[in-house]
Structure 1
Amino acid sequence: YRNHSPLMSFGASFVSFLNAMMTFEEEKMQLACDDLKATEKLCESEEAGVIETIKNKIKKNVDGRKSTLSMIDRLQRQIIVADCQVYLAVLSFVKQELSAYIKGGWILRKAWKIYNKCYTDINTLQEIYQKKTTQESLTSDAANDNHIAAEGVTEDSLNRLKGAVSFGYGLFHLCISMVPPNLLKIINLLGFPGDRLQGLSSLMYASESKDMKAPLATLALLWYHTVVRPFFALDGSDNKAGLKEAKEILAKKESAYPNSSLFMFFKGRIQRLECQINSALTSFHTALELATDQREIQHVCLYEIGWCSMIEMNFKDAFESFERLKNESRWSQCYYAYLTAVCQGATGDVSGAQNVFKEVQKLFKRKNNQIEQFSVKKADRFRKQMPTKELCVLASIEVLYLWKALPNCSLSNLQHMSQACHDVDDSSAAGLRNLLLGAIHKCLGNSEDAIQYFQRAAKDELCRQSNLYVQPYACYELGCILLDNPETVPRGKTLLLQAKEEFSGYDFENRLHVRIHAALASLREVVPQ
């Protein structure tokens, strides 16, 4: 039916899109593009708005049943077209080329206009129904109501359509709300707004609706609360923000999906954020077993198992997980090779680690990918000289820091990490060591010690040669600590602006800019937009 039914066609295209995004295989990405374009072509509808169409139908006194189908069908098709355009834009962005970004931006602009129009139209129709039920409508409105009622448009059908449009509408708002100011100007030119609360409420509506994308909206909310919020520090130093919402969603939906590997995965994410690492590992292993026929979900679980093992400083298990990902995953073998080598070296097998470090350069495929650039840069040193166990442990703590995983570590493991940093006697790593010690002491609640280490890291000029990101990150961390004290807020703000404006060209620059944007937004006591 995919060649005749818009919904069936969209369902098939969406599966193609998911396969492409999980594997990043070129042929699957091309197939997804072709499928989405075919669905879009099938759904192309007239440009007239729904409300205008209703008015025209009333004026012309056209047969009710016929116009009902066209009205509901028109809305459904427009939403599907917008969804297809969003997914096509995502497939463009994955290429990480300037032309692809420009193309993707314009596709998104078109999608946003459709979402916004449909959302407004559906809300207007719902208001008409509300007036009808409360019998407060005027005579002219009543005529409209009677006509719509005669057409057989039900409130349920409108609610379902609102659920359908709320998914894309909410995702738009949520994503744009996190964009840092330097990109926001470009996005504003394209006409996108960004309201985090609107995005969350729309996704919540979609997740509670009867639309086919309701489970996706639920997963999107869980992803936002358990992955995005802590990773981008959208709530400042509150590392557990979003847990309450995530738990509520999981409790509400878990019974509906008792054997879902994805829901078990998110349960593990919540446990990890609560520093219950052993429980998280159990959940991730369970999710891994549930996903026996889903290779991509298995890889996501393996990734988390690797990270949880690193958090526990169990480098042997971490090595096994990352090595399997290096051999099986097609996403970023370069990155997985680096993590494999780091963990292998941290176990003491420095010779084996060096062999894997040498593989990193060979597996470097995506030249514009920040993670792969970082991996190659870091591996290059150990490719040329034998790594030490101490430096590999330091490298593991470094990735835990950069991926915002240190707050998930237990106090005892943080103390072990602190000692491991002190064990490193390498002048070229002094700035990095101070940055990591500052972050560890911050997690331990030792603000004064943290400030001292961050100050040392911020002043370390030697790190400009090997770890360019250390100084801006140290300024950011120092600024965040100072923001917690009303007396030092001005100094903290100055440091955040310094981190944002005085440094460029370092690893994970955009990542830090998002965090700085969130910190400055919280300072203004507004929701990040």
Structure 2
Amino acid sequence: MAGPEQSQQQQQQQKVEEKAEHIDDAEMALQGINMLLNNGFKESDELFKRYRTHSPLMSFGASFVSFLNAMMTFEEEKMQMACDDLRTTEKLCESDSAGVLETIRNKIKKSMDSQMSGVAVVDRLQRQIIVADCQVYLAVLSFVKQELSAYIKGGWILRKAWKMYNKCHSDISQLQGTCQRRPSGNHDSLSADNANHNVENGVTAEALDRLKGSVSFGYGLFHLCISMVPPHLLKIINLLGFPGDRLQGLSSLMYASESKDMKAPLATLALLWYHTVVLPFFALEGSDTHAGLLEAKAILQRKSVVYPNSSLFMFFKGRVQRLECHINSALACFHDALELASDQREIQHVCLYEIGWCSMIELNFEDAFRAFERLKNESRWSQCYYAYLTGVCQGASGDLDGANGVFKDVQKLFKRKNNQIEQFAVKRADRLRKVSPTRQLCILGVIEVLYLWKALQNCSSTKLQIMNQVLQSLDEPSCRGLKHLLLGSILKCQGNIRDAVQSFQLAVRDEYGRQINSYIQPYAVYELGCILLAKAETVAKGRSFLLQAKEDFTGYDFENRLHVRIHSALASLKEVVPQ
């Protein structure tokens, strides 16, 4: 006979089961993601784990949190756990047995039989989208291994995912069209040939809108990311059947961000990432770093009520401030985000990274040094790169002995042999160590990374003038080409186009420096091309310079990065159709 305690436990379990039967998993999943973005990572994880067996959607939520945790830490154990979780969710969605019946039973209990087929279609489409999502995340985890076999496997997985996204997007769009054409009060069945189902009243416009939002996230990201692939890889990617329509990608992400699907907040973050990080970095709309900022500010304004204390949204607010050259305001935002993310180490790291960069922009080398040193010691992403930034900032602040010690560590921390950023850091650190670093050379190193990461545009006129003076006083023959490239960029930011052109021309002619800094000439030719594009009478000449930068040079640092910028500049002429 069951005792009172056992009976009480059974009653509690029964209550949980009754509650689980009545929950709206789509609404709960959205709440879980919102909880995560409002700094409730632990609470979100617990919520999804508690209900992960209730439905494929909640299972996916749990797997997504696991994936996010793995991507933020890069710890092997967590990455394996994420793979296992994603495969479990995938199997649940692909099964036609108990899982399907349980989900449908929970959703349509007490519903009319005529509604069952509609709910079944919604469930089927939802499962297909989740499977595609799982495959994308599994591909990302595969790419992180940075092995040839992993790239091949990841590419094949992505191809399968894209086909599913495309099919689901088409099916849902057809269902929406049929639903919109149906007269009010008409109870005839809906149909979609591609869906291969007869859909009764059970499919509501609201359900279709949510599903469209769900598929639009992955569908839009595919379009957006492929549109940014270096041109010389586009042919291979197009052969795999991937598209690359940037406008379609942005439109789909915007649709997803305004939907009631659990991925709506993620679509919002993707849009903020595009407008505040990708667009200015790759100069996708030309050289105007303020492109997209109005859109980013509008998004932040709309979402401020939902995410009043989100460290991630505070981070993007800081990005906007930085791009508007309000560096002190940006620093305040990043410090606030750092404090809000007290329990989220990886979000703290992206905030520290921005604090380091803003400090470099302000030529506050001590604060930059402290931020990058902490990243070097704590981050698992690229200690080699952070060590180099630590060294140049430390040397620029005057601590040359300390900087020299850090430069020696860069080689030891060089792990990703095929990573162009780490290759660059190792070469630069090795050279500075061999010539014995001076404060001027370290400041040159700071200005160089500000240029390569397109941050000179964020510097005030006062700081640009200080950089100009430092470069003018530099008389190291091996750095002459780099000096002129950086001077040209600074003069361009200051509006002195005539002198900027002269500096870029000097950089192009520096054959001696080319042996050490192989990227100088192609970048200088590109800069000349961009200046010439600005005037109608020199557009043709500017275009020829861009083509020269693209075709006459190879094997230099950050080649892919420049190719993306060249492709964008050419596309802006409307002589090349944007991909």
Q: Which bin holds the TM-score, normalised by the shorter protein? A: over 0.9
How many residues are treated as equivalent by the alignment? Answer: 510
Q: State the match for 2:364 in structure 1.
A: 314
User: Does 328-337 or 68-77 show the bigger shift?
Assistant: 68-77
User: Relative to structure 1, is the Cα distance of residues 115 and 150 closer, same or farther in structure 2, using a 3 angstrom cutoff?
Assistant: closer
Contact 2:179 2:190 in 1 (8 A): no
1:73 pairs, out of 111, 117, 123, with: 123
Q: Which amino acid aligns with 1:2?
A: R
Deviations 1:366-386 (A, max 9, x none): 111111111101000123332
Q: State the match for 1:243 in structure 2.
A: 293
Report the Cα distance in structure 2 between the residues aligned to 1:126 and 1:133, rounded to whole angstroms.
13
Matches within 5 A, 1:45-444: 64-133=114-183, 142-144=188-190, 150-444=200-494
Contact 2:532 2:542 in 1 (8 A): yes
Deviations 1:16-52 (A, max 9, x none): 1111211222222222222212211111168xxxxxx
Contact 1:196 1:527 in 2 (8 A): no
Q: Which amino acid aligns with 1:281?
A: L
Report the Cα distance in structure 1 between the residues aligned to 2:486 and 2:284, rounded to whole angstroms.
21
Report the Cα distance in structure 1 between the residues aligned to 2:567 and 2:344, rounded to whole angstroms.
37
Deviations 1:205-238 (A, max 9, x none): 1110000011100000000000000000001121
Q: Which amino acid aligns with 1:429?
A: C
Q: What is the CA-CA distance between 1:134 and the residue it aligns to?
A: 6.2
Contact 2:117 2:198 in 1 (8 A): no
Q: What is the CA-CA distance between 1:66 and the residue it aligns to?
A: 3.5
Q: What is the CA-CA distance between 1:527 and the residue it aligns to?
A: 6.7
Q: What is the CA-CA distance between 1:144 and the residue it aligns to?
A: 3.5
Report the Cα distance in structure 1 between the residues aligned to 2:344 and 2:338, rounded to whole angstroms.
9
Q: State the match for 2:63 in structure 1.
A: 13
User: Relative to structure 1, is the Cα distance of residues 143 and 10 closer, same or farther in structure 2, using a 3 angstrom cutoff?
Assistant: closer
Report the Cα distance in structure 2 between the residues aligned to 1:456 and 1:398, rounded to whole angstroms.
17
User: Relative to structure 1, is the Cα distance of residues 525 and 204 closer, same or farther in structure 2, using a 3 angstrom cutoff?
Assistant: farther
Report the Cα distance in structure 2 between the residues aligned to 1:288 and 1:403, rounded to whole angstroms.
22
Q: What is the CA-CA distance between 1:151 and the residue it aligns to?
A: 4.3
Q: Which amino acid aligns with 2:315?
A: F
Deviations 1:246-275 (A, max 9, x none): 011011001211100111111100000000
Q: Which amino acid aligns with 2:360?
A: M
Q: State the match for 2:86 in structure 1.
A: 36
User: Relative to structure 1, is the Cα distance of residues 302 and 167 closer, same or farther in structure 2, using a 3 angstrom cutoff?
Assistant: same
Contact 1:178 1:528 in 2 (8 A): no
Matches within 5 A, 1:419-498: 419-498=469-548
Deviations 1:304-327 (A, max 9, x none): 000000000000000010011111
Q: State the match for 1:52 in structure 2.
A: none
User: Relative to structure 1, is the Cα distance of residues 149 and 384 closer, same or farther in structure 2, using a 3 angstrom cutoff?
Assistant: closer
Contact 2:118 2:200 in 1 (8 A): no
User: Does 519-528 or 289-298 show the bigger shift?
Assistant: 519-528
Contact 1:431 1:456 in 2 (8 A): yes
Report the Cα distance in structure 2 between the residues aligned to 1:289 and 1:169, rounded to whole angstroms.
34
* TM score, norm. by length of structure 2: 0.85
Identity of aligned residues (%): 75
Report the Cα distance in structure 2 between the residues aligned to 1:143 and 1:186, rounded to whole angstroms.
43
Q: What is the CA-CA distance between 1:94 and the residue it aligns to?
A: 2.1
Q: State the match for 1:54 in structure 2.
A: none
Q: State the match for 1:58 in structure 2.
A: none
Q: Which amino acid aligns with 1:26?
A: E
Q: What is the CA-CA distance between 1:349 and the residue it aligns to?
A: 0.6
Contact 2:315 2:333 in 1 (8 A): yes
SS of residue matched to 1:199: helix
Q: What is the CA-CA distance between 1:333 and the residue it aligns to?
A: 0.6
SS of residue matched to 2:356: helix
Q: What is the CA-CA distance between 1:424 and the residue it aligns to?
A: 1.4
* TM score, norm. by length of structure 1: 0.93
Q: What is the CA-CA distance between 1:118 and the residue it aligns to?
A: 0.4
Q: State the match for 2:12 in structure 1.
A: none
Contact 1:45 1:78 in 2 (8 A): no
Report the Cα distance in structure 2 between the residues aligned to 1:520 and 1:310, rounded to whole angstroms.
31
SS of residue matched to 1:462: helix
Q: Which amino acid aligns with 1:504?
A: T
User: Relative to structure 1, is the Cα distance of residues 143 and 300 closer, same or farther in structure 2, using a 3 angstrom cutoff?
Assistant: closer
Report the Cα distance in structure 2 between the residues aligned to 1:9 and 1:448, rounded to whole angstroms.
61
Contact 2:222 2:244 in 1 (8 A): yes
Contact 2:314 2:334 in 1 (8 A): yes
Report the Cα distance in structure 2 between the residues aligned to 1:438 and 1:463, rounded to whole angstroms.
16
Deviations 1:93-139 (A, max 9, x none): 2222322222211111111110011011111111111011468x9xx
Q: Which amino acid aligns with 2:234?
A: L
- Structure 1 unaligned segments of length 5 or more: list them: 47-61
Report the Cα distance in structure 1 between the residues aligned to 2:408 and 2:58, rounded to whole angstroms.
48
Deviations 1:413-471 (A, max 9, x none): 11111111112120000000000001101111111111111111111111222111111
List structure 1 runs of 4+ shifted beyond 6 angstroms.
Answer: none
Q: Which amino acid aligns with 1:464?
A: R
SS of residue matched to 1:159: helix
